[in-house]
Amino acid sequence: MDLKNAVVLVTGANRGLGLAFVQGLLAAGARKVYAAAREPSDMPLHMLGDARVLPLRLDVTSAADIAAAAAQCADVNLLINNAGISRQASFLAEGSTDAARAEFETNFFGPLALSQAMAPALAANGGGAIVNVLSVLSWLNLSGAATYSASKSAAWSLTNGLRQELRGQRTQVLGLHVGFMDTDMTKGLQAPKADPADVVRQTLEALQAGAHELLADQLSRDVKSGLSAAQAPYLHAV
């Protein structure tokens, strides 16, 4: 996909990886970026000063917000499903069912509903592309984030299914897998963390190369390569 003059919708664009996507897309020559967030007023002021950035109120768990976004963003040819939440819940912890429901609503049903809503626009604009932000936890279950891990496994399956269903309209579907990134979600976690700007750089390069999957750090590459091993990584405590 050619990013020069692209029209892009980025969810969760007010901070972390989403904000890095907005900045990277502008640098790559995007013509317009719909920067979506539950509260657009949270958008950094330097982003609001760029005429190519259009703040958009979008809660990906709201059917009304998604319908409004689809109507407003009919010129989009790239959708980046970045918004995500983590409740840091293990399966047997008190409240884990509520945590799982909240995470699935944002991390799985949100990208599903937004992809359904935007697919006609992508088709009308030449096919375009969808990027789904996944995780190394698509393949592992982290005990301190078990319900989140399950939601990312479901989102990986969603990504693979969308790729097949959208092939006929020439929509590229890219699954982005990455381990820990230096964002608010991993604040206080003592582990090697990827730079969001570098993850964005790799993602945009992968899009332009026509790729369908990106393993953006060594952890993701190591885990993916070990999935078929007799002692696969997901069989061990994490």
| 162-186 pLDDT tens trace | 999 999 999 999 999 999 888 666 5
Q: State the CB neighbour count (10 A cutoff) for residue 165.
A: 12
**pLDDT of residue 222 exceeding 90:** yes
* Rg from Cα positions in the chain: 17
pLDDT at 191 over 80: no
Confidence of residue 188 (pLDDT cuts 50, 70, 90): low
Please check the confidence at residue 46 and state whether its pLDDT lies above 70. Answer: no
Report the CATH superfamily, name and number, of domain 7-235. NAD(P)-binding Rossmann-like Domain (3.40.50.720)
**Mean pLDDT, range 211-230, rounded to an integer:** 96
Please compute the mean of the pLDDT values over residues 138-155 and round it to a whole number: 96
pLDDT for 143 equals 87
Query: Which 3 state secondary structure label does DSSP give 222?
Result: helix
Question: 152, 137 in Cβ contact below 8 A?
Answer: yes
Higher local confidence (pLDDT), 225 or 45: 225
Other residues' Cβ atoms within 10 Å of the Cβ of residue 232:
13
